[in-house]
Amino acid sequence: MLVKSKLKYIQSLGQKKFRKEEGLFIAEGPKLVKELLEEEGVNVKEIYALKDWIDENKELLISRDVTEISAFELEKISLLATPNKVLALVKQFDNTSSITTKGKITLVLDDIQDPGNLGTIIRIGDWFGVNQLVCSHGCADVYNAKVIQSTMGSIARVRVIYTDISEWLKSQNNITVYASSLEGKNIADMQKIKEGIIIIGNESKGISPELFALANEKITISKKGKAESLNAAVACGIILSHLS
């Protein structure tokens, strides 16, 4: 059973302000919650689930804070269009300490505003072993429910920090910064890299001129047809598949 104050508390986590204050985010559905429970270093604080899911996952739930709720109650706290058996409150990750770019590939996101795109990019990073991501303050909130759901669990394995990326890029020395543009080296002809910073631009505006000027390698995904642009997450996947 869910007391009213708890219900309101969980609902409040739909808002960034409260998520930040509480240092928590919401994850939903059997697949995602199971993955987070099994991942090392993830702190799943509270679980709210239907009886059948709890019965099916007894072993996974040993010494966990689990509350059995009704389908009706789940509907009230779920942020999904179709609530799916279980909702968990998870501790936000430590994203304050600085990251090292030496010897690694790092993605930099310039105002990726669509939560689905941000989540998909995190999942792409995780696929290609790129586990750090630097977001501009104009990016969607990584703990937004849509981002979390579309990362499909990769949120636990990819470090995401928010910063002034122009300042941050200026502080990075002796490392190649790649930016995609309409004119640049064709990525299909490039060698794989072991180290570098790759900037992915905003969905409609692309990479801002200020950041573009900080890049020392312009790359391009060669076009044969007529589409004006590629989706930001798709472009990110293509670039990493060639360079990483």
Binding site for its own copies (CB under 8 A): 116, 120, 123-131, 152-154, 157, 187-188, 221, 223-231, 233-235, 237-238, 241-242, 244
The per-residue DSSP string of 29-60 comes to SHHHHHHHHHSTT--EEEEEE-HHHHHHTGGG
| Shorter beta-carbon distance to its own copies: residue 20 or 31 | 31
Closest separation between CB of residue 117 and its own copies, Å? 10
Closest separation between CB of residue 157 and its own copies, Å? 6
Closest separation between CB of residue 129 and its own copies, Å? 3
| Shorter beta-carbon distance to its own copies: residue 167 or 189 | 189
| Shorter beta-carbon distance to its own copies: residue 94 or 127 | 127
144 within 8 A of 205, measured Cβ to Cβ? no
Q: Compute the distance between CA of residue 234 and CA of residue 244 in angstroms, rounded to an integer.
A: 15
Query: Coil, strand or helix: which one is 197?
Result: strand
Closest separation between CB of residue 172 and its own copies, Å? 23
Distances (CA, A) of 71 to 1, 2, 57, 78: 11, 11, 17, 10
| Shorter beta-carbon distance to its own copies: residue 150 or 208 | 150
| Shorter beta-carbon distance to its own copies: residue 58 or 224 | 224
**In this structure, what are the phi and psi dihedrals at residue 111, rounded to the nearest 5 degrees?**
55, 50
Closest separation between CB of residue 116 and its own copies, Å? 7
Closest separation between CB of residue 112 and its own copies, Å? 14
How many other C-beta atoms are found inside a 10 Å radius of the C-beta of residue 40? 6
User: For residue 141, what is the DSSP state?
Assistant: P
* Neighbouring residues of 17: CB distance < 8 A, sequence distance ≥ 6: none
